[in-house]
């Protein structure tokens, strides 16, 4: 058995097509509006401000069980890090203080004021690193200090996220 579709039958709409077309239009309009809004950047968002902070404590061999002066691979240090966001301050145990400190130095860690500190004459090197953006400007900081006390005297609370 074969069916023949005539021009009259092709032009005729099945019942419920108008309702289905209206529903489809509503769904498409509803999903297109959020997509358009997401594609356009919000006017209130300012320049990017975020820093990936890390502190690496180097392992220095000390006399004790298993101590050896023989050449060989050096033990790897302990690295800890966090992502600091400043609008609003978060991601760091002292985020508000760290963001205020960065704001006062216009994001330049080398411009932080030195703090008075009585640090021990102990060599336990720590390397502080900060990479990211401060108000749209790139930040790339890395410095090795003789110990954690010396690091805090120079960098303040910025790398004190373990406390």
122 pLDDT band, cuts 50/70/90, is very high
Model confidence pLDDT, tens digit, residues 67-119: 555 555 555 678 999 999 998 999 999 999 999 999 999 999 999 999 999 99
Residue 64 has pLDDT above 70, yes or no: no
CA distance 41 to 64: 59
Is the pLDDT score of 57 beyond 70?
A: yes
Q: What is the pLDDT of residue 117?
A: 92
* pLDDT tens sequence across 27-51: 445 545 444 444 444 444 567 899 9
Percent of the chain with pLDDT over 70: 60
Domains recognised in the chain with CATH numbers: 50-60+76-155 (3.30.350.10)
pLDDT of 70:
57
Mean pLDDT value across the chain? 77
Mean pLDDT of the region 56-68: 67
Using pLDDT thresholds of 50, 70 and 90, give the confidence band for residue 65.
low
What pLDDT shows up at residue 150? Answer: 97
Is residue 135 predicted with pLDDT exceeding 80? yes
């Amino acid at each position: 058995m074969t069916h023949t579709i005539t021009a009259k039958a092709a032009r005729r709409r099945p019942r419920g097509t108008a309702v289905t077309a209206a529903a489809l239009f509503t769904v498409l309009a509803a999903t297109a509006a959020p997509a358009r809004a997401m594609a356009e950047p919000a006017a209130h968002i300012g320049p990017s401000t975020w820093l990936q902070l890390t502190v690496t404590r180097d392992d220095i061999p000390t006399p004790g069980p298993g101590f050896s002066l023989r050449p060989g691979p050096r033990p790897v240090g302990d690295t800890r890090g966090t992502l600091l966001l400043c609008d609003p301050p978060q991601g760091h145990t002292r985020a508000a203080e760290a963001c205020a400190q960065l704001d006062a130095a216009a994001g330049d860690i080398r411009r932080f004021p030195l703090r008075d500190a009585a640090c021990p004459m102990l060599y336990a090197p720590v390397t502080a690193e900060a990479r990211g953006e401060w108000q749209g400007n790139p930040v790339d900081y890395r410095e090795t200090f003789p110990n954690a006390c010396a690091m805090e005297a120079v960098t303040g609370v910025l790398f004190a996220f373990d406390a």
